[in-house]
Chain A
Amino acid sequence: MNPYVLAILIASLGMGTTITFASSHWLLAWMGLEINTLAIIPLMSKQHHPRAVEATTKYFLTQATAAAMILFASTTNAWVTGTWNIAQLSDPTAVALISIALALKMGLAPAHFWLPEVLQGLDLTTGLILSTWQKLAPFALIIQISPNMHPAILTALGLCSTLVGGWGGLNQTQLRKILAYSSIAHLGWMIIVLQFAPQLTLLTLATYIVMTSAAFLTLKASSSTKINTLATAWTKAPSLAALATLSLLSLGGLPPLTGFMPKWLILQELTKQSLPLTATIMALSALLSLYFYLRLCYAMALTIAPNVNNSSAPWQLLSTQSTLPLALTTVAALALLPATPAVLAMLT
């Protein structure tokens, strides 16, 4: 791709999210979402591989559908109530429509089917952008309209997402699909707490972005997209393989790691709202996710497959990839739990 075109695309990718963040008018927010979608499409099909083009087509169709639904719902709201303001979305039909449209845009559970397929068709860097940066703009909208959203829809979306995210990832051997299901499960945690404490949603989003960046960058550094390849990842960077285990367990939400922080606080909030059944289902569905994270850990670091001698020496070769983002996100994904009060204070 021409570097000038690449610069235009990346600048527009940034601009789309910024416009959605800055807007208080539904039309402008919709414009930002559309700019985002448009700008990432050539980046997704950059490889010209048939899988990448197929993934791009699927992504375009779902995002265009969701954006059209948002436009329709906000027009309906403007017609009924006379205001285009995002925070004043109050017509029940429009609120329900926009909830579903944003769920489709982010890949929440009943509308999640595109996400694993799309992510599987992309390379790891684009997949990282797709599962982090592209989630920000819809989240900015859904947090603004959350006071008006129907609690039953939010709870259903959240529970369904965590359960589907756990179950769907169980039988996968492809790492990008596993990360997609992990994304669905984490989105479920964010949505379930949205109606009680939006700052916890932001906290979960922030920690999820950090942890999933660590996971994507680790996989990129060891250039592995299948569990098979993970089994020899330790030969490329032994210390990274050991740390990747911890990163994956952090995604799973085990205690001394960063990933425990959002789950802890969300379960506490749900308990405080006297919703013990919801909290129990959420906690148990986290176990489903933990199962496939543990399988990745097992393949990556807890066992060493027998191999010929000279295939266990690639660690001697100098890697040409930039390791600073990987180091930063891994450290943040492992060691942020002691900073919980500071992070919480920053977000409230």
Chain B
Amino acid sequence: MTYLVSLFLFGLVVGLVAVASNPAPYFAALGLVVAAGVGCGVLIGHGGLFLSLVLFLIYLGGMLVVFAYSAALAAEPFPESWVDRSVIWYVLVYLIGVVAVAGLFWGGWYESSWVVVDGLKGFFVLRGDVSGVALMYSFGGGMLVVCAWVLLLTLFVVLELTRGLSRGALRAV
């Protein structure tokens, strides 16, 4: 388990470096998908099974759409990958930064640094994340309504910004 979670955490850092080093959108979106995927793995390592499943399905679903769109919008014949000269310096600087920060906090790291949800109690009937969902639907009902309104608002905002031809904001008058 320790090795698996260490691998996931390592993959998370590498994925974030892959996004932050500013390569072509193809590769940046790939890095984002990798980071999201191994992030879900880290969540499973902490015991957030249901949360991880929701995040994987919804976030990666959205990520794939973004990936397809950005690949379609930014199609270029020679996309910059991570070994190109304009990107490799960012990669190196971020990696060195990660190593430096890791060295700084090395002493504070031990195997029980991550604790499974509800892992410190004895017996439990409900898991933390599942009962959290139940609480969200009971006590958090009003907040869900607000969230639904925000989704509707976002839909209208996106539609208003990307309307066809001269009526949208994406094209000059």
Of B147, B153, B159, B168, the contact of A48 (CB 8 Å cutoff): B168
Asked if A19 and B146 sit within 8 Å, CB to CB, the answer is: yes
Q: How far is the CA of A8 from the CA of B152 in the complex (A)?
A: 9
Residue B157 interfacial (CB < 8 Å): yes
Q: Which of A31-39, A161-169, A262-270, A322-330 interfaces with chain B?
A: A31-39
Contacts of B157 in A (CB 8 A): 9, 38-39, 41-42
Asked if B161 and A45 sit within 8 Å, CB to CB, the answer is: yes
Contacts of B143 in A (CB 8 A): 28
Asked if A42 and B173 sit within 8 Å, CB to CB, the answer is: no
- Max chain B C-beta neighbours (<10 A), residue from A28, A42, A49: A42
Contacts of B147 in A (CB 8 A): 31
Asked if B153 and A8 sit within 8 Å, CB to CB, the answer is: yes
**With A45-B169, A48-B169, A50-B172 known to touch, is A38 a contact of B161 (CB < 8 Å)?**
no
Task: Identify the closest chain B residue to A27 (Cβ).
Answer: B143
Residue A277 interfacial (CB < 8 Å): no
Asked if B173 and A38 sit within 8 Å, CB to CB, the answer is: no
**With A9-B156, A48-B169 known to touch, is A31 a contact of B146 (CB < 8 Å)?**
yes
**With A19-B146, A45-B161 known to touch, is A38 a contact of B172 (CB < 8 Å)?**
no
Q: How far is the CA of A9 from the CA of B160 in the complex (A)?
A: 10
Asked if B167 and A48 sit within 8 Å, CB to CB, the answer is: yes
**With A28-B143, A34-B150, A41-B161 known to touch, is A48 a contact of B156 (CB < 8 Å)?**
no
Q: How far is the CA of A278 from the CA of B121 in the complex (A)?
A: 55
Residue B149 interfacial (CB < 8 Å): yes
Task: Identify the closest chain A residue to B160 (Cβ).
Answer: A42
Contacts of B153 in A (CB 8 A): 8-9, 12, 35, 38-39
CB within 8 Å: A-B pair count: 53
Residue A1 interfacial (CB < 8 Å): yes
Asked if B169 and A5 sit within 8 Å, CB to CB, the answer is: no
Contacts of A34 in B (CB 8 A): 150
Task: Identify the closest chain A residue to B172 (Cβ).
Answer: A50
Asked if A56 and B160 sit within 8 Å, CB to CB, the answer is: no
**With A28-B143, A41-B161 known to touch, is A49 a contact of B173 (CB < 8 Å)?**
yes
Asked if A35 and B161 sit within 8 Å, CB to CB, the answer is: no
Contacts of A38 in B (CB 8 A): 150, 153-154, 157
1/0 contact trace for A47-62 toward B, CB 8 Å? 0111011001000000
Residue B166 interfacial (CB < 8 Å): yes
Task: Identify the closest chain B residue to A57 (Cβ).
Answer: B169
Contacts of B170 in A (CB 8 A): 53
Q: How far is the CA of A80 from the CA of B109 in the complex (A)?
A: 17
| Closest-CB distance, A52 to chain B (whole angstroms) | 8
Asked if A12 and B149 sit within 8 Å, CB to CB, the answer is: yes
1/0 contact trace for A144-162 toward B, CB 8 Å? 0000000000000000000
**With A41-B161, A42-B161 known to touch, is A53 a contact of B150 (CB < 8 Å)?**
no
Q: Please report which residues of chain A, range 120-174, place their CB below 8 angstroms from some CB of chain B when the two chains form the complex.
A: none
Q: How far is the CA of A52 from the CA of B170 in the complex (A)?
A: 11
| Closest-CB distance, B4 to chain A (whole angstroms) | 23
Asked if A5 and B160 sit within 8 Å, CB to CB, the answer is: yes
Contacts of B171 in A (CB 8 A): 48
Asked if A35 and B156 sit within 8 Å, CB to CB, the answer is: no
| Closest-CB distance, B145 to chain A (whole angstroms) | 11
Q: How far is the CA of A50 from the CA of B166 in the complex (A)?
A: 12
Q: How far is the CA of A12 from the CA of B150 in the complex (A)?
A: 8
| Closest-CB distance, B48 to chain A (whole angstroms) | 15
Contacts of B169 in A (CB 8 A): 42, 45, 48, 52-53, 56
Asked if B160 and A48 sit within 8 Å, CB to CB, the answer is: no
Contacts of B161 in A (CB 8 A): 41-42, 45
Q: Please report which residues of chain A, range 45-87, place their CB below 8 angstroms from some CB of chain B when the two chains form the complex.
A: 45, 48-50, 52-53, 56
Apart from A38-B150, A53-B172, 19 more pairs, CB < 8 Å: A5-B160, A8-B153, A9-B157, A12-B149, A12-B153, A19-B146, A31-B150, A34-B150, A35-B150, A35-B153, A39-B153, A39-B157, A42-B161, A42-B169, A45-B161, A48-B169, A48-B173, A53-B170, A56-B169
Q: Supply 18 A–B pairs (Cβ within 8 Å), ascending by A.
A: A5-B156, A5-B159, A5-B160, A8-B156, A9-B153, A31-B150, A34-B150, A35-B153, A41-B157, A42-B156, A42-B157, A42-B169, A48-B168, A49-B173, A50-B172, A52-B169, A53-B170, A53-B172
Chain A interfacial positions (CB closer than 8 Å to B):
1, 5, 8-9, 12, 15, 19, 28, 31, 34-35, 38-39, 41-42, 45, 48-50, 52-53, 56
Chain B interfacial positions (CB closer than 8 Å to A):
143, 146-147, 149-150, 152-154, 156-157, 159-161, 166-173
**Closest CB pairs A-B (n = 6):** A45-B169, A42-B160, A53-B169, A12-B153, A50-B172, A42-B157
